[in-house]
Amino acid sequence: IYVYNETQMNQGTLIEIKKGQNLLEGLRQAGIAQATYCGGVGLCGKCKICLLDGKLEISMEDRKFFSSAELKKGYRLACKAVPVDECKVLLLQEQEQEFSIISHYEKKSEKNEFEYDNEYVIGIDIGTTTLVFQLVGKNTKKVLHTHTAMNHQRDFGADVISRIKASNEGKKEQLCKIIRSDLRKGIQELLSNKEFKKENVKSIAVGANTTMVHLLMNYSCESLGEYPFTPVNISTIRTDCRALLGMEDIKAEIIILPGISTFIGGDIISGLYKYNFYKMDETSVFIDLGTNGEIVVGNKNRILCTSTAAGPAFEGGYISCGVGSIQGAICNVDITKEGLDIRTIGNKPAVGICGTGVVEIVSELVRAGLVDETGLLESTYFKEGYPLGSDRQRRKLNFTQKDIRELQLAKAAVRAGIEILLKRFGVTYEQIDKIYLAGGFGYKIDIKKAILIGLLPAEFCGRIQAVGNSSLAGAVEYLFDEEAGLKIDKMIDVAEEISLSKDDDFNEYYMQYMMFETCCRKVKENTD
Ligand code: FES
């Protein structure tokens, strides 16, 4: 198979595919990363390709995702395309780029040799989608370098469930190898500037969800996938770069933060630690929205937490023109009298819509009265979806009725989780001191818009703080605090997990918050 992409149309890469293997598997084996949300089962439509030459049968799933005109042009899903002969295909997926920011770094002056740190620590957040690495001066606490990279396990699906499934279907070693290799590359990239000496890295702390820790440590994921969802190990893990990653030249210790359960992992504990849940008298709320939504209500004496399978809508997943937080992703949307006002990440030509954009467009459609309280799109747009313009390949970007439903399911699950935790904790909205909104929409969210769609209670207005990647921030902080371990243990001791699926009120709340009407009225009252 000759594989082309938009930027290299005159030079294809030749890959070989075994008989009976699908194109997606072939691309993976050839090291051509393709982010998939469904893990290759024909559900997400993210693995689109276009056949330039040769033959690929049309699958049942192709018919769901492509119009007959598109099928004629050669559009297919790579995960369902099984080549029988030589062919040429064009990859349609936008490639995500790794990026690095070197900050606070200036050339050492001759006069003052001690101007800069000569010892470092590293914080790492292993997200299901993205990995973030941060190099920090041990003496100055200055952030010297931040590097963001893709978690290449994404080839096996967007969420933890598909990773657990893949691990349990014989891919355990492969997934472990991938994440260890990603960590090695990230650390090397972080230290790529020769001013940063490898031998001067003193310690590394990692915040990650329980599944990511299991895959990194090569633990079996079997018990994570079935009731009672018992993890192999969620205690603090202490190892080092040589033992875990085979990096002989870095002597640093690696500390992997502990978790509370299979569903509330070290990434959440890291955020709670960062925002002082171990010492607060007042009760606060912490919400982390990624492919899962984790919610915590608590103070120093008591912590209640839960996790909702919100689905990847907040990261652009299962949305027809959804993409991750890549350059060109639509992240801000305003519907004005003059028309549609759209901004993209990096102000690049639009390539699709990221999680923040999804919240924004739905909120704007609701505000403009183009979506009713049940989530139904106005009849003019019902069939084709609301037009957001077109992408570089002049394909239409439409936000469809199905996309609105995806968002409704996700926001209703999170909101129901918030309501249940508040109720079980016995607090009213007014008794909540602060609300920390963490995590990976892909881009900073407009809190008013999140309230307008009912993701967050309108009564929280003015107390919500968007805190970004709190898992990374907590991991870095851990390395500067000798008592961090004790503080974290204290939180774990008072933490209790609530299972939403067993909660009597869940269904009622879930149905209630699927609607938009209540939210709009409340926002109006609170803004007035
Ligand atoms: Fe092919 Fe999801 S549809 S990877």
Which tokens is 343 given? Answer: 């901004």
**Residue from 236, 281, 230, 231 nearest 254 by CA:** 236
| Ligand 1 atom index nearest CA of 61 | 3
| Ligand 1 atom index nearest CA of 39 | 4
pLDDT at position 150 = 83
**Residue from 291, 292, 286 nearest 271 by CA:** 286
Ligand 1 mean position, distance from CA 80 (Å): 8
pLDDT at position 337 = 87
- Determine the residue of 23, 77, 92, 319 to mutate for testing ligand 1's pocket, defined as the one with the most ligand atoms within 8 A of the Cβ atom: 77
| Ligand 1 atom index nearest CA of 78 | 1
- Determine the residue of 79, 82, 156 to mutate for testing ligand 1's pocket, defined as the one with the most ligand atoms within 8 A of the Cβ atom: 79
Ligand 1 mean position, distance from CA 266 (Å): 29
pLDDT at position 440 = 61
> Is residue 162 in contact with ligand 1, taking CB distance under 6 Å?
no
Q: How far, in Å, are 36, 89, 107, 254, 275 from residue 288 at the CA level? A: 22, 39, 38, 24, 13
Ligand 1 mean position, distance from CA 181 (Å): 24
Report the C-alpha dihedral over residues 242, 245, 247, 252, rounded to 10 degrees: -60
Which tokens is 105 given? Answer: 């770094």
For residue 180, give the 3-state DSSP assignment.
Answer: helix
**273 close to 491: Cβ distance less than 8 angstroms:** yes
Question: Cα-flanking dihedrals φ and ψ of residue 512, to 5°?
Answer: -60, -45
> Is residue 157 in contact with ligand 1, taking CB distance under 6 Å?
no
- Determine the residue of 34, 43, 49 to mutate for testing ligand 1's pocket, defined as the one with the most ligand atoms within 8 A of the Cβ atom: 43
pLDDT at position 109 = 46
DSSP per residue, 327-361: TTEEEEEEEETTEEEEEEGGGPPP-EE-HHHHHHH
> Is residue 44 in contact with ligand 1, taking CB distance under 6 Å?
yes
| Ligand 1 atom index nearest CA of 77 | 1
> Is residue 40 in contact with ligand 1, taking CB distance under 6 Å?
yes
Ligand 1 mean position, distance from CA 61 (Å): 9
Ligand 1 mean position, distance from CA 167 (Å): 18
ipTM score for this prediction: 0.99
Residue in this structure with the two tokens 């994404």, named with its chain if needed = 154
Question: Cα-flanking dihedrals φ and ψ of residue 208, to 5°?
Answer: -155, 155
- According to DSSP, the β-strands at 293-298 and 253-256 are unpaired
> Is residue 38 in contact with ligand 1, taking CB distance under 6 Å?
yes
Which residue has the least CA distance to atom 3 on ligand 1? 42
> Is residue 43 in contact with ligand 1, taking CB distance under 6 Å?
yes
**361 close to 322: Cβ distance less than 8 angstroms:** no
Ligand 1 mean position, distance from CA 67 (Å): 17
Residue 269 to residue 353: CA distance in whole angstroms: 30
- The DSSP H or E segment spanning 5 is strand 2-5
* AA identity, residue 468: G
**208 close to 153: Cβ distance less than 8 angstroms:** no
Which residue has the least CA distance to atom 4 on ligand 1? 40
**350 close to 397: Cβ distance less than 8 angstroms:** yes
- The DSSP H or E segment spanning 23 is helix 23-29
Which residue has the least CA distance to atom 2 on ligand 1? 44
pLDDT at position 374 = 94
Ligand 1 mean position, distance from CA 47 (Å): 5
| Ligand 1 atom index nearest CA of 42 | 3
> Is residue 474 in contact with ligand 1, taking CB distance under 6 Å?
no
**The model's pTM:** 0.84
Question: Cα-flanking dihedrals φ and ψ of residue 420, to 5°?
Answer: -65, -45
Residue in this structure with the two tokens 């080839």, named with its chain if needed = 155
- Determine the residue of 22, 25, 46 to mutate for testing ligand 1's pocket, defined as the one with the most ligand atoms within 8 A of the Cβ atom: 46
**156 close to 163: Cβ distance less than 8 angstroms:** yes
Ligand 1 mean position, distance from CA 413 (Å): 24
For the chain, the residue count is 528
* AA identity, residue 151: N
Question: Cα-flanking dihedrals φ and ψ of residue 415, to 5°?
Answer: -65, -40
Ligand 1 mean position, distance from CA 356 (Å): 22
> Is residue 77 in contact with ligand 1, taking CB distance under 6 Å?
yes
Residue 465 CB coordination number (10 Å):
13
Residue 267 to residue 296: CA distance in whole angstroms: 13
pLDDT averages per 10-residue partition of the chain, 528 residues: 78 86 87 74 84 93 88 93 92 67 53 65 92 93 89 86 93 96 95 88 97 98 93 97 95 97 96 98 94 93 92 78 82 90 88 90 94 94 90 83 94 95 97 89 76 93 88 97 98 96 92 78 54
Which tokens is 128 given? Answer: 């299901």
pLDDT at position 106 = 45
| Ligand 1 atom index nearest CA of 34 | 4
> Is residue 45 in contact with ligand 1, taking CB distance under 6 Å?
yes
Ligand 1 mean position, distance from CA 443 (Å): 24
pLDDT at position 13 = 86
Question: Cα-flanking dihedrals φ and ψ of residue 378, to 5°?
Answer: -55, 150
> Is residue 3 in contact with ligand 1, taking CB distance under 6 Å?
no
> Is residue 42 in contact with ligand 1, taking CB distance under 6 Å?
yes
Residue 481 CB coordination number (10 Å):
12
> Is residue 484 in contact with ligand 1, taking CB distance under 6 Å?
no
Which tokens is 163 given? Answer: 């990773």
Helices first, then strands: H and E counts in the chain: 16, 23
Domains (range + CATH), the chain: 2-91 (3.10.20.30), 99-103+118-256 (3.30.420.480), 267-528 (no CATH)
**Residue from 410, 399, 390 nearest 335 by CA:** 399
